[in-house]
Structure 1
Amino acid sequence: MTLDVAQLCAQLIRFDTTNRGGGDSAGEREAAEHVATVLSDSGVQPTLLEPAPRRTNVLARIPGTDPTLPAVLVQAHLDVVPADPAEWSFDPFGGEIRDGFVHGRGAVDMKDMAAMTLAVVHRWHTEGRRPRRDVVLAFVADEEDLGACGAHWLVEHHARHFAGVQAAISESGAFSYDVDGVRLYPIGTAERGTSHMKLTATGRAGHGSRRNPDNPVTALVTTLARIAAHQHPVVLTPTVEAFLVGAGKALGVEVDLDDVDATIARLGPAAKLVENTVRCSTTPTVLNAGYKVNVIPGTATAQLDVRTLPGTVDEVLATIDSLLAPGVTRELINHQAPVEAPVDTPWFTAMAEALRDEDPSAVIVPYCLGGGTDAKAFSRLGIHSYGFSPLLLPTEGYDYRAMAHGIDERVPVDGLEFGARVLDRFLTS
């Protein structure tokens, strides 16, 4: 008897694995132990690893029928971002299944992928099937912060578990995206890099009523205004260029790679899939200064969420330096380089074929993620990582891109069932 993928997803949602960042986490242990139990019941031997109390990771390897083939990694994180029940119309950790949806925090980010993977593995066990190649599984902690208790820690301390892995699949890709009746399925082949930054303005403290040309608050807000107003140049990575060409052809839109902004404007709703990835971005997000209205402080600080495209990191840092006002310095507080996997590979082809087998009208395009995932960790092992968490989504009344980290997060049951079938086809092909 196979396990129901919607029930698996609901069960995982009921474990509160909230990660508030900075080490403040409910922990993944109970969810990880549940995953380990499902794997054991599916004939797979799990390994549980904890770098810190309750920060639990689950690893496993399913041997393939042909040991000469390179292995594939399926990785999913078990932690979720916070959810304030007062803002939701249902219990974010209730895991309700109703109205054709599984409801709760993590439904699309990304306990859905974890559930689909478990459903496929259990199906193999009940039907006596095995994949052609080794399938390595990683259900990890701490993706919603820095990965220090999850993927990055595993890569640094337990890399042997990933021996022979050539490619990996995970979140943020292969979901259906309807544009005027055309169903695009963007597969993630690249991610912008993350360079979170702290700016510090140092000046002369004093009384708020007196003239002070060395006011650090003024220097800081001047710097932030310059940074916010700066428009970074267009950078066409291979992934983004392939998306523009492929989506443009499918939608009957003129594509002019010399005028990317105009091309994006012609894409209609599909513009949302690419508009944030043709440029780097430097976004002020946190401000700290002063403690009393009549006191000029000696220092003021801010934080920037900086996202970079492949080959642009040095240029972006130099640009930020040129925009700093006198007395303002910068420091990196988190740096993860951008990553890009090749499109012209058997891996990408197999993903596309698995999608088309379930949806013959599917239009497959590569795309670049504006944010980031644990792909940045596994890429350090030379693993090509793809955003491939397949879902067939409703065309009306459901905004998938608003679900992750949003209020009233939910995922369609038939979408999960579709995704499990696609995953099965891909992993056994």
Structure 2
Amino acid sequence: MNFDKSCALRARLHRLIPGGAHTYAKGDDQFPQEMAPVIVCGKGCRVWDVDGNEFIEYGSGLRAVALGHAYPPVVEAVRRQLEFGSNFVRPSLIELECAESFLELIPNAEMVKFCKDGSDAVSGAVKLARAHTGKDMVAICGNHPFFSVDDWAIGVSGMPGGVPATTRAMTLKFNYNDLGSLEKLFDEHSGNIAAVLLEAEKETPPAPGFFDGVRALCDRHGAVFILDEMITGFRWHVGGAQTRYGIKPDLSSFGKALANGFSVSALTGKRELMQLGGFDHDRERVFLLSTTHGAETHGLAAAIATMKVYREEPVIDVLWQRGQSLADGLKAAAADAGVADHVPILGQPCCLVFGSRDTDGQPSQPFRTLLMQEILRRGVLATSLVVNYSHTEADIDRTVEIFSEAFFVYRRALDEGIEKYLLGRPVKPAIRPFA
């Protein structure tokens, strides 16, 4: 494939936009050199770039597009709503309709406030927890890489520049599936932890009793249990991973697949916590998610239409089925090429990722780059293996064929040296302290 036009646009992007993209995970440093396509349109599970290349796409807008790009019922709902205006000086009726639709699906939710991104929703939950408990510290799962762009979270990430040391000290880390590590934090910071925050699942499933244990520790120490469902919500189950696994958080955050790529996220949870952002109580009020564009009507129309599809069609079942077909096919192809131990297929079928390991079995950015290089040149755009509802079995079969060819190149690179096959510099972690 030819990427000349995309490469020509790179300098312009970097001159005007820090990092060349509005999300670090979309930066050209995440792609093989000279092979970072600039997208012009998408339909279903396919996208086209400025050079006219067509790709079967995985990752689905960083997991936000669960139904498929430009999914007709969602597009039509947005088109209809645009004729009536997008933003007013008072709440619109569609805000109530969207809240009712959302709260019907989420079992532990009594109130909801919509906003535009995951960071605001999660940070809003942290603020509520601090106000409710009168405590300052937050315990987050250290195995989950990203919760918010705000200082309390990014200060303990791999890219903490600009965050004061005093702020960094307020956020603690524990390990997933390790109740002992969380209990140790409560013991070491007795009476000071306002909230425990984690995702329901990434590549490793929850151990039996883990979330019951988290719930019990929060109750015992007077902390708020916050579940980040930005990724798991509307993929694991229509009611989120909390429904699939029987998790009982106090507050939850949703987004990404909630509106099929339109900018809608949600903070939801128990009334006694959520109402602190209102005025139907006698406690000190919390300034909670007051955003000019938080309730843009066309975004809420997209969310309502998306949730309607989830209710009426087997979206979640298809995501799991297609993902399982993809995982089975890729594992068989990797075994056939002799790279099964070097390219593990990880995660639940509805949200798969692939690993990349070198000759010593260690995680390798150069080998990740090589694999991406080989699938890109054959027509698959995949920084992960996240499917959407529009992927067909034929798309899965073609993807497996392409990966199979790439796996044999991977095998030769293992045997003969990667420098013989990799063109250009390797990709880098998206969150890192230096260029």
The answer, yes or no, to whether TM exceeds 0.5 is no
Q: Give TM-score, length-normalised by structure 2.
A: 0.29
Q: Give TM-score, length-normalised by structure 1.
A: 0.29
More helix by share: 2
More strand by share: 1
